[in-house]
A and B are shown apart, each in its own frame.
Chain A
């Protein structure tokens, strides 16, 4: 039985309950029909001036005949809340999940316990699944490390970490894919680039960004949210509660920034690309992000298209060009 998710949720619970988890974002963005998914949503009344992800998720859900969905009603955007209401009205069964506004371990525990109860699974079973998923998380962490060594590309770093939001709907199969990938990447010669870039913000609609920057002697070696989706601190937490407590993405910007700053320093980042989605409230975050990060930040925006527009390309090129001057030879 398939269950759709609209963002990262405790999938340990869903796999423990015997579901095949499907991240609707991944179906949407990896489909050649992605524009049609948006079109379906707009025909059903979703506004033109709305985040393309929300519309894409809706279209993907309807078109792929997903009957059950976990709706994140706290800790994600308010558009998701309204999306969940529309899906409910279409007869889709919704399981609500909340990332508590009050970011304490106690509140996170309450929320996860509530989620566990909805699916009628045991805590032991959930922990057993968590341990299994950790095999995949360890491999994803290795890919992240290999990216810093310039062996894995920015896109691979993005793809293999983001895919852990649902393990591609097949835990064993995906762990195998990761194993093979790690072996392949390990044996590569590093392609060292002059500029080390960080990508922060929601995953891009424009996946060609990664290859594009690599054409300018630069590489993205840190993907903020994708890395969070892969739960890099899996080996430092003692249970599922702590795992989702130390997850940064759904909590305050300040909490996210603490981790970002740490990573920028550790990875010796030269410049940051902050991606925001058209019509998303997170574009406002850019004010704080720019004021708090010491390295230069370029804010780019994506809307419906899955490739960079000419203007954004010129902006990125100019940004990288000057970053290179700063770095010297």
Chain B
């Protein structure tokens, strides 16, 4: 085992997730809102210069970053890896599995990957629209004046929401509120419409077990719906940090330490 302090940073659309790995184990993890991260902890001089001290990290040997858009994640002296790979490594690290399908639903994007014998063999990404992502849930929760946690607990008897656009869905939901549809059914409807948009991405990924990561993995209703399509749906222990953990684990793998 390599005795290294590895810093993994996953720059997501809503949060920046940071993980520190020491001797092959995650010893620290935290998240900062993305806007706050860029505003308060970074400077930009051709590359991203991060004030690690301010971020509370004193020392590390290797830095690996991932996230959306190459320029946004190009931290000085960091190795950039693509998000799909980061998630593959993250899930291998968190589960010890070498063969799996992983669905990652983040703030603005969705990815599905298939890993066989520890290697990525298939993938699917959502289009530019965020209607199947966390941001959609946040907006709908705001309209329903409910917390994300409460919103996600309703899955039975969902009201039908047909809009394919996240913004049009808001007015459709308001229409349903006006019609007097019960609150529980409205919440379930939001969750179900999220699931419905994820489904086409999963058609090429039939299997027995599905792993779930990303902030939206905390959505209990989504879990219930996905159980209809898979024998087993496992939410990773640290679903939000999967990408960041993957960055750390990649550093070990690429050094040949845990080959």
Contact = CB atoms under 8 A, between A and B. Distances in A.
Contacts of B254: 325, 328
Given A325-B254, A326-B253, A319 B259 contact: no
Contacts of A328: 254-256, 259
A319 B82 CA distance: 12
A318 B118 CA distance: 12
A281 to B, nearest CB: 18
Contacts of B253: 325-326
B103 interface: no
B123 A297 contact: no
Nearest to A298: B121
Interface residues of A, number: 18
A132 B120 CA distance: 46
Given A290-B116, A296-B117, A315 B122 contact: yes
Which of B84, B119, B123, B259 lies at the interface centre, i.e. has the most chain A CB atoms within 10 A of its CB? B119
Interface string A271-313: 1000000000000000000100001111100000000000000
B220 interface: no
B119 A296 contact: yes
B70 to A, nearest CB: 15
Q: Is the interface of B mostly helix, strand, loop or mixed?
A: mixed
B211 to A, nearest CB: 17
A323 B84 CA distance: 14
Interface string B114-142: 00111111110000000000000000000
Contact of B85 (A298, A299, A321): A321
B120 A322 contact: yes
Which of A271, A290, A321, A322 lies at the interface centre, i.e. has the most chain B CB atoms within 10 A of its CB? A322
A319 B121 contact: yes
A329 to B, nearest CB: 8
A314 B84 CA distance: 11
A318 B120 contact: yes
Contacts of B88: 322
A322 B119 contact: yes
Interface string B78-93: 0000101100100000
Contacts of B118: 296, 322, 326
A318 B123 CA distance: 9
Contacts of A326: 118-119, 253, 259
B205 interface: no
A299 B122 CA distance: 9
Given A290-B116, A318-B85, A325-B250, A299 B121 contact: yes
B203 to A, nearest CB: 13
A318 B84 contact: yes
A183 B121 CA distance: 38
A297 B120 CA distance: 10
A297 B122 contact: no
B115 to A, nearest CB: 9
A290 B119 CA distance: 12
A79 B255 CA distance: 49
Contacts of B123: 314-315, 318
Interface in A33-83: none
Contacts of B120: 315, 318-319, 321-322
A127 B255 CA distance: 56
A329 B79 CA distance: 15
Given A322-B85, A328-B255, A328-B256, A315 B121 contact: yes
B92 to A, nearest CB: 10
A227 B122 CA distance: 28
B243 to A, nearest CB: 15
Contact of B117 (A297, A299, A315, A321): A297
A290 B118 CA distance: 13
A271 B116 CA distance: 12
A271 B119 contact: yes
Contacts of B256: 328-329
A299 B119 CA distance: 12
B250 A296 contact: no
Contacts of A322: 85, 88, 118-120
Contacts of A296: 116-119, 121
9 contacts: A295-B117, A318-B85, A318-B120, A319-B121, A322-B119, A325-B254, A326-B259, A328-B254, A329-B256
Given A297-B121, A298-B119, A326-B118, 17 more contacts: A290-B117, A296-B118, A297-B116, A314-B123, A315-B122, A318-B120, A319-B119, A319-B120, A319-B121, A321-B120, A325-B85, A325-B253, A326-B119, A326-B253, A328-B256, A328-B259, A329-B256
Interface of A: 271, 290, 295-299, 314-315, 318-319, 321-323, 325-326, 328-329
Interface of B: 82, 84-85, 88, 116-123, 250, 253-256, 259
Interchain residue pairs A-B with the least CB separation, the first 7: A328-B256, A296-B119, A318-B120, A296-B117, A322-B119, A325-B254, A298-B121
